[in-house]
């Protein structure tokens, strides 16, 4: 804000002069000095407001009609690692000070204020638990994560609504509440048991990611050495039983062969709850074109994520080089962490991390749209499961900026609404309709063989 300084005397003179229609200051007017400065007062001049952004305005119109239905958010995991799932004193309205209880000073990326700013109308909350434990322990912890998320939803009845159907989601959004639906991230959460899978469904889980970063006893992960060549026979029955129940099959994190096997078996649309296009970024967590080309026949969607390492190929290659340099330093100087740390600090100074922007995220959306159409795209930010998002989309408040970027790239209002929530609702409704058609079908009772 700019500031002007005028004396009270000068202000009075100016007012009288203006009233008389005479100039306020003559050409020979002299600046105030001496005692005249004693009466100086401060007059604040407002800076002009920035010009409106037509693209953002158009994006907000679309999001008012079709609020974002996001495919993946890890708030439940943050509650576990930060608060041990004790939420009696947890303020979900504003989490911007939560960096104080994080070892790296990292604040949470999600709260009710920023969800509202981001025009989020529905959210799949991931009840992820670590893969580095026994399956039995993973099942127990998953139950705890479902419990803590339901308790959080209950604490904010005016802002959040527990939902488990497409109709309930639409009803919640129409009434100004964020529809909250549960997703499981990783097949280890069912302990290789179809009975546990069924009970997780009864508790509200409406999707399950078949793997996380490691293989399960029945499915290969994208980031582990393959051992099953995709899905085992039991794994295929997991997909069939999920279809029978009406639980979405989530293929983020799984290997390309597992993707293909699941598409061979699936009778309902699949989802990729937080993935990108491998043609844009070669990370195996992303979806190759060969799999994308099968989605129109299946009806599924890719919910594009906001993870810099999966969006920006330059950033992915930078990270790979950094890992290699660090491994070399550790090999050269075993047991000497101070030397390694100093060497890596020097390397980081000389090789800053490439910037990832909203434009990189839009590139993935562009690719999928150009290859198979906008009907197979959604958004799955993965917030609170990542260290940081792209520049301009650092937390859940940033969805309007992403949609503004899509407007600048020529996306229509109809296309924006499809990406925001209509595609995701269609897929969920398709799973429900398939399950209704199989209501008389008995549960699958397959047991996992000992060899699996």
Would you please indicate which residues are annotated as catalytic (active-site) residues?
Answer: 72, 74, 185, 212, 253, 274, 382
Residues 142, 189: Cα–Cα separation, whole Å:
6
Cβ 399 vs Cβ 58: under 8 Å: no
Residues 312, 175: Cα–Cα separation, whole Å:
37
Q: Is 367 helix (H, G, I), strand (E, B) or coil?
A: helix
Give how far the C-alpha of residue 263 lies from the chain's centroid of Cα atoms, to the nearest Å: 24
Q: Is 95 helix (H, G, I), strand (E, B) or coil?
A: coil
Residues 28, 11: Cα–Cα separation, whole Å:
18
Residues 189, 134: Cα–Cα separation, whole Å:
10
Residues 378, 376: Cα–Cα separation, whole Å:
7
Cβ 305 vs Cβ 388: under 8 Å: no
Residue reference for tokens 């499809």: 418
Interstrand relation of 301-304 and 271-275 (parallel, antiparallel or unpaired): parallel
Residue reference for tokens 């078996």: 265
Tokens at 9, concatenated: 């005397």
What phi-psi label fits residue 61: left (phi over 0), alpha (psi between -120 and 50 degrees) or beta? alpha
Q: Report angle CA 71, 73, 78 to the nearest 5 degrees.
A: 165
Tokens at 190, concatenated: 């069912």
What phi-psi label fits residue 170: left (phi over 0), alpha (psi between -120 and 50 degrees) or beta? alpha
Nearest to 382, CA basis, from 391, 390, 373, 374: 390
Interstrand relation of 178-185 and 160-162 (parallel, antiparallel or unpaired): parallel
Tokens at 181, concatenated: 């639906």
Helix axes 256-265, 233-245, angle to 10 degrees: 50
Residues 164, 154: Cα–Cα separation, whole Å:
15
Q: Is 301 helix (H, G, I), strand (E, B) or coil?
A: strand
Q: Is 7 helix (H, G, I), strand (E, B) or coil?
A: strand
Residues 187, 122: Cα–Cα separation, whole Å:
24
């Amino acid at each position: 804000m700019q500031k002007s300084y005028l004396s009270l005397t000068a202000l009075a003179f100016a007012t009288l002069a203006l009233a008389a229609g005479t100039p306020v200051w003559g050409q020979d007017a002299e600046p105030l000095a001496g005692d005249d400065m004693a009466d100086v007062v401060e007059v604040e001049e407002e800076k002009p407001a920035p010009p409106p952004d037509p693209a953002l305005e158009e994006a907000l119109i679309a999001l008012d009609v079709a609020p974002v239905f996001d495919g993946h958010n890890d708030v439940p995991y943050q509650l576990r690692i930060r608060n041990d799932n004790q939420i009696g004193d947890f303020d979900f309205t504003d989490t911007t000070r939560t960096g104080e209880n994080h070892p790296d000073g990292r604040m949470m990326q999600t709260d009710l204020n920023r969800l509202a700013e981001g025009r989020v109308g529905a959210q799949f909350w991931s009840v992820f638990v670590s893969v580095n434990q026994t399956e039995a322990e993973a099942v127990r912890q998953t139950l705890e994560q479902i419990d803590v998320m339901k308790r959080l939803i209950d604490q904010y009845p005016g802002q959040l609504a527990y939902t488990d159907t497409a109709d309930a989601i639409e009803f919640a959004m129409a009434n100004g509440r964020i529809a909250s639906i549960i997703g499981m991230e990783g097949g280890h959460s069912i302990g290789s048991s179809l009975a546990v899978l069924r009970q997780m469904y009864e508790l509200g889980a409406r999707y399950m990611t078949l793997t996380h970063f490691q293989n399960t006893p029945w499915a290969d992960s994208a980031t582990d050495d393959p051992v099953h060549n995709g899905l085992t026979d039991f794994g295929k029955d997991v997909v069939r039983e999920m279809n029978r129940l009406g639980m979405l099959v989530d293929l983020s994190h799984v290997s390309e062969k597992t993707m293909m096997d699941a598409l061979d078996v699936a009778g309902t649309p699949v989802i990729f709850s937080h993935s990108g296009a491998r043609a844009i970024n070669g990370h195996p967590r992303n979806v190759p074109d060969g799999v994308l080309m099968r989605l129109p026949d299946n009806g599924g969607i890719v919910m594009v994520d906001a993870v810099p390492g999966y969006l920006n190929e330059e950033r992915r290659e930078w990270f790979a080089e950094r890992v290699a340099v660090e491994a070399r330093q550790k090999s050269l100087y075993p047991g000497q962490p101070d030397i390694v740390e100093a060497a890596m600090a020097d390397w980081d100074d000389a090789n800053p991390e490439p910037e990832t922007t909203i434009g990189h995220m839009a590139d993935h959306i562009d690719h999928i749209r150009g290859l198979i159409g906008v009907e197979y795209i959604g958004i799955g930010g993965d917030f609170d499961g990542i260290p940081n998002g792209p520049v301009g989309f650092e937390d859940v408040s940033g969805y309007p900026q992403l949609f503004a970027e899509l407007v600048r790239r020529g996306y229509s209002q109809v296309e924006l609404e499809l990406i925001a929530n209509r595609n995701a609702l269609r897929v969920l409704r398709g799973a429900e309709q398939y399950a209704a058609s199989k209501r008389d079908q008995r549960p699958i009772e397959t047991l996992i063989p000992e060899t699996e």
